[in-house]
Amino acid sequence: MPIVSRPEDFNVDDLYVDLRPVLAAPLYLKCEGFNFAGSIKLKAATALVDAAERDGLLSPDSVIVESSSGNLGVALSMIAASRGYRFLCVTDTRCNLTTRRLMEALGSQVHTVVEPSAEGGFLAARLGYVRELCAADSRYVWLNQYTNPSNWMAHYRRTAPAVAQRFPDLDVLFVGAGTTGTLMGCARYLRETRPGVTVVAVDSVGSVSFGGPPAPRMIPGLGAGVRPPLLDESYVDDVVLVPELDTLRACHQLARHGYLFGGSTGTVVSGALRWLAEHRPGVETTAVAISADLGERYLDSVYQPGWVREGYGPDALEEPRPDERLAVSGVAG
């Protein structure tokens, strides 16, 4: 076992779940939740802080500030505590209570935006608050995961090479789209080194990232109310849009087999199953989907029956008929 001197130095990067016994589909799930921050966002957070230190942006008086729906905020809270910085996370009401408490337990401040902007929703409101804060006080240093190339470079250097090394015969990679840092880092690496691999982005219905109409979304992690500046669609071969109802059903199906994953994993798995059924039926395929985090932070939402019924109806977790499955999920090119 490794011995580490800083929490960000530990990350399990080589754990995959073979989902064939669970879902009867040729899909491997890359599990990114086994580190002290509990999610794939540890990689981006480390890269963002490292870059800010190299560029001389951080001083003893600095206060790191970032907009986050949850996981990056936890990762930055952990790194800030480890390296002696102060950190303020700007989030919104969709952030899980457990996640907010984790950040506060690590010594960070959390500001929760309660009103979405008319244009751009909660994300635009969070970004507006961060900009106003930085304009008013020079001590605040915004790492800006939405435009900072260190975000995607973390996955270009670490996540994608790990997948490529483990699966030399990789055919398809499914990546959830939030800031699109993970997506763009993996897509750029594979385009350069494995141009035959199909990269499929998985997004939530209601997200505007790929040009869809905005709609309310209740599960944090994937999707955006503002088009991600990092996104370059020329690197993406296909896009799957997943309704949140399908996200919930995928999460609960995995949980019934002993795997408790986060909401974004349910979205990515649901989208991957849809894409494989439509594009590779009966074809021997090596496919990998990236799981951003585990499910403990979603016990009060995704895995809470009352929350699910209130938001999605009393029959939300009932298995749909085959014809209904076709009606609720779509693939966008």
Question: Is pLDDT above 60 for 322?
Answer: no
Same domain, 261 and 314: yes
Here the CATH number for the domain that contains residue 222 is 3.40.50.1100
Domain-embedded: residue 22: yes
Query: What is the mean predicted confidence (pLDDT) over 287-303?
Result: 96
- Count of domains observed in the chain: 2
Based on its alpha-carbon atoms, the radius of gyration of the chain, rounded to whole angstroms, reads 19
With respect to residue 169, please indicate whether it lies within any of the assigned structural domains: yes
Residue 297 lies in a domain: yes
Predicted confidence (pLDDT) at residue 330 exceeds the cutoff of 80:
no
Per the domain annotation, does 278 fall within a domain?
yes
Q: Is the pLDDT of residue 3 over 50?
A: yes
Are 211 and 112 members of one domain?
no
Are 133 and 162 members of one domain?
no
The predicted-structure confidence for 67-85, as pLDDT tens digits, reads as follows 998 999 999 999 999 999 9
Mean pLDDT of 168-178: 97
Tell me the per-residue pLDDT of 233-276, one tens digit each, with 9 for 90 and over: 999 999 999 999 999 999 999 999 999 999 999 999 999 999 99
Could you tell me if 22 and 48 lie in one domain?
A: no
Confidence grade of residue 329 (pLDDT, cut at 50, 70, 90): very low
Q: How far apart are CA 112 and CA 73, in angstroms?
A: 12
Single-letter residue type at 122? F
Using the 3D structure, point to which of 142, 163, 186 is the last residue of a domain.
142
pLDDT score recorded for residue 119: 87
Q: How far apart are the first and last CA of the chain?
A: 44
Query: What pLDDT, on a 0 to 100 scale, did the predictor assign at position 324?
Result: 44
* Neighbour count for residue 279 (Cβ, 10 Å): 14
Q: Per the structure block, which two tokens stand in for 249?
A: 């059903």
Q: What is the mean pLDDT of residues 5-28?
A: 96
Indicate whether 159 and 189 sit together in one domain. yes
Average pLDDT over residues 173-197: 97
How many degrees, rounded to 5, is the angle at CA 183 between CA 220 and CA 279? Answer: 100
One domain for residues 104 and 130: yes
Within 10 angstroms of residue 305's Cβ, the number of other Cβ atoms is 11
Angle between helices 97-105 and 71-83 (to 10 degrees): 10
pLDDT of residue 118: 86
**Torsions phi, psi for 30 (to 5 deg):** -80, 115
Domain boundary among 142, 174, 207: 142
Comparing CA positions, the residue from 140, 8, 139, 13 lying closest to residue 72 is 8
| Same-domain pairing of 184 and 127 | no
- pLDDT, one tens digit per residue, over 96-151 is 899 999 999 999 999 999 999 988 889 999 999 999 999 999 999 999 999 999 99
| Helix segments in the chain, DSSP class H | 20-23, 41-54, 71-83, 97-105, 121-136, 149-154, 160-166, 181-193, 244-255, 263-279, 305-312, 322-328
Whether residue 178 lies inside any domain: the answer is yes
Of 108, 142, 176, the position where a domain reaches its end is 142
Which pair of tokens denotes residue 266? 């349910």
Note whether 25 and 173 are same-domain residues.
Answer: yes
CA distance 252 to 255: 5
Indicate if the pLDDT at residue 4 is higher than 90: yes
The pLDDT confidence band at residue 328, using thresholds 50, 70 and 90, is very low
- Strands 330-332 and 238-242, bridge-based pairing: antiparallel
Check: CB of residue 90 under 8 Å from CB of residue 129.
yes
With residues binned 3-state (H G I as helix, E B as strand, rest as coil), the percentages for the chain, rounded to 5, are 40, 20, 40
**26 and 86 share a domain?**
no
Q: Is the pLDDT of residue 331 over 70?
A: no
Q: Are 64 and 196 part of one and the same domain?
A: no
185 and 306 inside one domain: yes
Q: Show the domain range for 209.
A: 7-31+155-332
Q: From CA 265, how far away is CA 71, in angstroms rounded?
A: 13
Same domain, 254 and 326: yes
CA atoms of 219 and 294, how far apart (whole Å): 14
- Average pLDDT over the chain, rounded to whole? 93
Q: Is residue 36 part of a domain?
A: no
- Tell me whether residue 48 is in a domain: yes
Give the Cα separation of 181 and 235 in Å (integer): 12
DSSP state of 39: B
Amino acid found at 32: E
pLDDT tier, 320 (very low <50, low <70, confident <90, very high otherwise): low
Structural domain includes residue 149: no
